Each structure stands twice: as structure tokens, then as C-alpha cells.
Amino acid sequence: MISPFSIARLPRIQFGAGATAKLPDLAARYGRRVLLVTGAHSFDAAPYAAPLLVKLAERGLSCERVVVSGEPSPELVDDAVRQFKGAVIDVVIGLGGGSALDAAKAIAGLLKPGNSVMDHLEGVGPEVSYSGPATPFIAVPTTAGTGSEATKNAVLSRHGPDGFKKSFRDEALVAEIALVDSELLAGCPPALIAANGMDALTQLLESYVSTGANEFTDALALSGLRAARDGLLAWYEGGAAAEQAMARMAYASLQSGICLAQTGLGSVHGLASPLGAYFPIGHGVVCGTLLAAATRINIAALRTREPQSRALAKYAEIGRLLSGRDGVSAEQDCDHLVATLEDWTQRLALPMLTSLGVAASDVGRIVAASRGSSMKTNPIVLTDDEIRQVLQARL
């Protein structure tokens, strides 16, 4: 029996090693004036940057540039919109990690309307509904983690005690084209492979057990989880098959974005929002450090309060998939899942929260701010005490 589902708009997807060679032709379909949004150091230092700029110019495209350093703020988006709204940009290309892609997505959304992104951010400000029009946006990820190339939201942050990490979200913001080229991942430092890879893994796992999951997203999430199983540690630990491992993680990340945009996420992302706002910790690190503990506590809560939940069977299934072990019971498969995630957390050297500046006295306010949109699709409604336990396990 397949339950009814609906799938929101997806980008056209161009996946493959070397796919960036197609970028000039793809961009030229929209016109000649390009706004290129990239990371601060990552782009100019990358071996592909100079040849790509030459090829864009040869194709007759003129490029304006916006450089994003760190996680994008509403001010960065507003400044770029102010600077380029008169320039009649035909297409925005975001090329970089999640920060560059999210900034590019928000800028593309607002170049034509010209208003402040604060008008639309969820949970802060007036939450005016977005009515476009958006400028065509091409997303080219250079990390394997956030899946932003396939999602309809741009995450923007303001740091500090009154900080926030919130989404500008609308289906019209989805990229026209997601160009996923695993060759762009070469040279990614191990700490980023670990953090981004754990973000993709978390997004796949949380999508799979989300209350918003369906037959269609389940198939994609399982396919992404298999790719992450075979790619993440292999890429991080290096070795002969690095190219295959990179392609697997590029694929896992893309699938994680496709799934999360349809299903929503869970408690790890619920906690990642305040943690990332109050402390200068990268999103992938937050997800990676919390995933095993959050999964253990979700499973314990389901066993106690909703033992018939489909999510428990799904956790058992992922336990078999990731651990490669077939337990004598679903209960044992769930235990294998938690043990596997704990093992990966260690092998990927994900830090404890205290070493990132989080103190026991911060736990209360983090828990209080964790019930945003992601927490709403967690497979079981957690108590404040259970959410606290997730954090305390990693202090």
C-alpha cells in the first residue's frame, strides 16, 4: 500500500565528474549577465577557478562577483541586493559550500523585488510571504554536505547571545539547475569532509524517519545512505578509491537535500539551529557531534512510548544497512545503528560540545530554542528532558 504523497519542485540535475564544463552553456541559456557568488578564499585558491572564469568569458558572459566569508548574514544578502539590483542580472551562479549557495539563493530571490530578506525570515520579523520573481539560480556545490543545491531554503545567521539561525524559504527559490561535479571536491580538508559528510548523513537519516517521509523520499534516502556508508569513511581515511568516495558523497549530499526539502528533519537539526546561532560552530560539526546521541534517545523514547511506530522499524533497517550486520531482532539492529554512529563519530574525530565553548549552564536556553521547524518532524515528540539528554551526552 503506497500512501498519497506530493513532491515539491526540484532543480534540473546535472551530476557527474567534470560536469562543470557544461556550466558556461547552461548559464548562457538565461542571458549574458552573471552574478557569481563564491566563498571567500576557497574559490580564488581553487585550481578550477581561473579556467572557469576564462570559459565563462569566452562564452560571452560578463561576471559580477559577490564573496561570502563565513556563514551568511541577512546584512550580506541585503548589501548584495542593494549593490546589484540595478545591474539587470540574468542568472545567479552560486559556487561553493553551503554558505555560498545559501547566500546566492537568497540574493537570487531578492534581486528583482529589492526588499530586505528580514521581511521573510522565519521566526524573526514580519514573515511576509514571498511573491518573487526570483532571478534564475544555478547551484554548484564544492563541498559534500548541506544539499543546499536541492533545497528551497537559504539559512541565514546572526551570531551572539541574541543570535538566530533562520530560513528564508520558498519553492520559487529552488535552483533552476543543480550542477554536481565531484571533481570540485578534490582537496577538501579532512575536518570538512567529516563535518559536511556527517551533515549529509544526518539529513538522510532524519529525512528517512521523519513524520513527513513517504515512499518516494524513502527510496532516495536509502540510496543516499548506502552511498554515505561506502563513501564517507573511505574518503576521510584516504586511499586508492578517493575519487569513487568523493562521487558517492556528492551523491549522498544531493539526495539528502532532495529528501529534506520534502520531508523536514529532526531533533539534531532542531538543536543545530540555536547551537549554530549562539556559538561559532559550523553546522556540520554540530550535526556530527549530536547524531549518535540523538538517535539513541529517539529510539529509547519510541521504545517506551510508541513501540509500534514505523520509525523504529526504519531505524532497525538503517542499522542493518550501515553496520552490515543482521541482528537477531529489530531491537538489536537499532543497537547496532547507535554503535555504528558512535564509532563513526570517534573515527571522524568530531569534537565534544565543551571544547567548542558550550557549557552546562547553556543547556537550558539551547533546549528552549530548539523547537523550530525541524523538531516538528522528529519521529516522536521529545520532552525537554530528553532534548537535554542529547546535549548532555556530548558535553
Nearer to Zn ion, 23 or 175 (CB): 175
CB 205, min distance to Zn ion, A: 11
User: Residue 169 and residue 151: Cα distance in Å, rounded?
Assistant: 9
3-class secondary-structure state, position 288: helix
| 265-294 binders of Zn ion (CB under 5 A) | none
CB 344, min distance to Zn ion, A: 16
149 counts as binding Zn ion under rule CB under 5 A: no
CA atoms 193, 244, 147, 392: torsion sign:
negative
Nearer to Zn ion, 111 or 265 (CB): 265
User: Residue 208 and residue 311: Cα distance in Å, rounded?
Assistant: 8
CB 211, min distance to Zn ion, A: 18
Nearer to Zn ion, 205 or 338 (CB): 205
User: Residue 345 and residue 350: Cα distance in Å, rounded?
Assistant: 6
Residues 162-201, mask of contacts with Zn ion (x by CB under 5 A): -------------------------------------x--
Q: Are 260 and 151 in contact (CB under 8 A)?
A: yes
CB 291, min distance to Zn ion, A: 10
CB 301, min distance to Zn ion, A: 22
Nearer to Zn ion, 78 or 199 (CB): 199
Length of the chain: 395
Burial 84-111 (b: 16+ CB within 10 A, else e): bbeeebbbbbbbbbbbbbbbbbbbbbbb
Nearer to Zn ion, 151 or 309 (CB): 151
The count of chain residues that interact with Zn ion, using the rule CB under 5 A, is 1
User: Residue 285 and residue 102: Cα distance in Å, rounded?
Assistant: 18
CB 64, min distance to Zn ion, A: 29
Reported in sequence order, the residue ranges of 71-188 that DSSP labels E, i.e. its strands, are 91-96, 137-141, 153-158, 164-169, 177-180
CB closest to Zn ion, residue no: 199
Run of H or E including 223: helix 215-236
Nearer to Zn ion, 199 or 317 (CB): 199
Residues 28-47, mask of contacts with Zn ion (x by CB under 5 A): --------------------
Residue with cell 510508541: 306
Instruction: DSSP for 4-22, please give it.
Output: --------EEEESTTGGGG
CB 168, min distance to Zn ion, A: 16
Nearer to Zn ion, 61 or 144 (CB): 144
Q: Enumerate binding residues for Zn ion (CB under 5 A).
A: 199
